[in-house]
Amino acid sequence: MPTLAKRRPAVPTGEPSLDALEARLDRARIPRHVAVIMDGNGRWAKSRGLPRLMGHRAGAESVREIVRAAGELGIGTLTLYAFSTENWQRSPLEVQGLMRLLVHTLRKESQELHKNGVRLHAVGRTDGLPAPVRKELERTIEFLSANRGLHLNLALNYGGRQEIVDAARAVARAGESITEESIARHLYTAHSPDPDLVVRTSGEFRLSNFLLWQSAYAEIHVTPTFWPDFRRRELVLALLDYQRRERRFGAA
């Protein structure tokens, strides 16, 4: 653990402007990869007396803002946990609503993503997704494939343990020996560096089967803010928190 004396001062309370917060960022130490567990859509909706799907719709607005902000702030890769292998246990109405929202958002945002130079990747057992979602994903991934800006990984039908099993099977099929490198080469995120920072919204201190292998040395930032309220300012606060950490990767 870093000593308190080595830590930079915390962000003072009060309400500094977004510009003032961004001015505090050390641009040379922006994390290369930020991964986000977007939690709290349901509670956000409930607290307003709205149906859960309205929370997901508001969450899609946060996705839009955070993708844009991540690119502008110089983050190289952003991974968003959009649908886990456990999420199929939700009501059919909610699952269907989430799938429709995904298709709708991909259609609606593809031009804007293109303008911002974003590349898209789907990570997870995507062959288990409904056909219209697979089709829209394939279309959007292809449409954005020549871009050179932010890598956006959407984790869909994603489970960290399943990913490790799939990688181990792929290593065996390829007749390779089992090493950390060979497993990492067959993960769904093989095209991305490991996350430097994992953010979880809505206050739970859990990884929930997200990027289990890749997060071995990630810093974790938990905020009580529900995902639909997590906007650029919250992302900047997460980056400032990250920049106060001293990363030692197990060394003394």
By CB under 6 A, name the binding residues for ligand FPP.
38-43, 56, 59-60, 63, 80, 82, 87, 101-102, 105, 154, 202, 227
Catalytic residue check, 39: yes
Spell out where the chain has E strands. 33-37, 77-84, 119-123, 151-158, 197-200, 219-222
Least distance to ligand FPP, CB of residue 194, Å: 22
Least distance to ligand FPP, CB of residue 83, Å: 6
Least distance to ligand FPP, CB of residue 233, Å: 18
Of residues 19, 39, 116, 127, which has the active-site annotation?
Answer: 39
d(CA 169, CA 198): 27
d(CA 103, CA 111): 14
For ligand FPP, which is the closer residue by CB, 22 or 225? Answer: 225
- Asked if residue 62 lies in contact with residue 226, where contact means CB atoms within 8 angstroms, the answer is no
Of residues 19, 26, 87, 157, which has the active-site annotation?
Answer: 87
For ligand FPP, which is the closer residue by CB, 63 or 198? Answer: 63
Catalytic residue check, 87: yes
For ligand FPP, which is the closer residue by CB, 2 or 128? Answer: 128
For ligand FPP, which is the closer residue by CB, 171 or 198? Answer: 198
